Chain A
Amino acid sequence: MMVADLYALVGVVLFVMGLSALILRSRDLQRILGLNIMGTGVFMLLVTSAHGDGQAADPVPHAMVLTGIVVAVSATAFALALSLARERHK
């Protein structure tokens, strides 16, 4: 088993764990964390897919992950703010 395959497997496992938490957990914070773990799995998979077997790595997935991290951070911030706003209105 190659190292890249191991990374990809870990990425898939993180995705599955995050998705399960997103659906099964009831608290907002747990769901937001689940979503983030899911995203991390996807990033890991994308970065792993960029490896070029000793040749130059594919820069397109790297750029996508960079964009994805920023979007994930802002989505998390908004989700936390929404969760807080919901607590306030209860």
Chain B
Amino acid sequence: MPKLIKRCLPVLVGAGAVALGALIAAAWVRTQENGGAMTRAVLEALPDSGVSNPVTAVLLNFRGFDTLLEVAVLMLTLIAVWALDLRLPRTEALPPSPVFSSLLRFSGPLLVVIAGYLLWVGASEPGGAFQAGAVLAGGCLLLRLAGRWNPGARFVRWAVSVGLLVFLLTAIAMPGLTGGLLQYPPASAGMWILLIETAATVSIAAILAALFVAREPEGPRR
């Protein structure tokens, strides 16, 4: 009997997965029928959001709470990975080669500029803290793999937590200014969003790079 079950399992799982897929497809068709309400709501409120890119407005203003928690999730992941204490071998620097070092000389500064551009352009066009953070993390890893950069524990901890800190401080300050959690004053909303996004970019880059290294930087512990 167990043998039979084992033989039938792929078929059963496949059938179940296909049935679930059909349900999802049906749900998708239904959402297509009454779409557009959310788009109108966002576009109507867009002038008060401080940015002109509706996706950034949703992420940092209308649903800022989600993004705050998302930065917290990222940080929590890194803390969990550090806590696992994998005792991986130190990330070895790649052997020096003229090709890699000239690539680094060219692409290192370029990546920083691209990250800054993506951060800035997020206010009006596709872009923002996550894209900029991902590009910056790539730059950090290039430097790290080249053996050119091995930041200390104190720097890494600050870089990892500055995004959540700034976001939290903003969330604490806003009820006093406007009376709502993460509800920015419309006149200076753009500035607040840029402030949060800049800090978030640094933290996202640091966390992604640190997740790749997967080893807690050695340094003073309290």
Interface positions of A (Cβ within 8 A of B): 8-9, 12-13, 15-17, 19-20, 23-24, 45, 48-49, 52, 55-60, 62-63, 66-67, 69-71, 73-75, 77-78, 81-82, 84-85, 88
| CB-CB contacts below 8 Å: B1-21 with A | 9-10, 13-14, 17-18, 20-21
Structural contact, B42 and A15, CB atoms closer than 8 A? no
Structural contact, A59 and B32, CB atoms closer than 8 A? no
Task: Choose among A56, A66, A70 the residue that contacts B39 (Cβ–Cβ < 8 A).
Answer: A56
Task: Choose among B10, B58, B86, B208 the residue that contacts A84 (Cβ–Cβ < 8 A).
Answer: B86
By beta carbon, the residue of chain B nearest A80 is B214
Structural contact, B77 and A74, CB atoms closer than 8 A? yes
CB distance from A14 to the nearest CB of B (A): 9
B24 CB within 8 Å of chain A: yes
**What are some 29 contacts across the A-B interface (CB < 8 A)?**
A8-B25, A8-B28, A12-B21, A12-B28, A16-B20, A16-B21, A20-B17, A23-B13, A24-B13, A45-B24, A45-B28, A52-B35, A56-B54, A57-B39, A58-B38, A58-B42, A60-B39, A62-B55, A66-B55, A66-B128, A67-B59, A67-B70, A70-B204, A71-B70, A74-B73, A74-B207, A74-B211, A77-B214, A81-B81
B95 CB within 8 Å of chain A: no
B36 CB within 8 Å of chain A: yes
Structural contact, B20 and A19, CB atoms closer than 8 A? yes
Known: A19-B20, A52-B36, A74-B211. A9 touches B55 (CB 8 A): no
Structural contact, B17 and A16, CB atoms closer than 8 A? yes
Task: Choose among B25, B35, B73 the residue that contacts A71 (Cβ–Cβ < 8 A).
Answer: B73
Q: Interface size bucket, B side?
A: 35 or more
Known: A71-B70, A88-B86. A63 touches B28 (CB 8 A): no
Residues of B close to A49: CB separation below 8 A = 28, 31-32, 35
CB distance from A90 to the nearest CB of B (A): 14
Interface string of B44-63 (1 = CB under 8 A from A): 00000000001101110001
Known: A19-B20, A63-B63, A78-B80. A58 touches B39 (CB 8 A): yes
Structural contact, B66 and A78, CB atoms closer than 8 A? no
Structural contact, B9 and A24, CB atoms closer than 8 A? yes
Structural contact, A52 and B39, CB atoms closer than 8 A? yes
CB distance from B125 to the nearest CB of A (A): 13
CB distance from B154 to the nearest CB of A (A): 23
Task: Choose among A45, A55, A70, A71 the residue that contacts B36 (Cβ–Cβ < 8 A).
Answer: A55
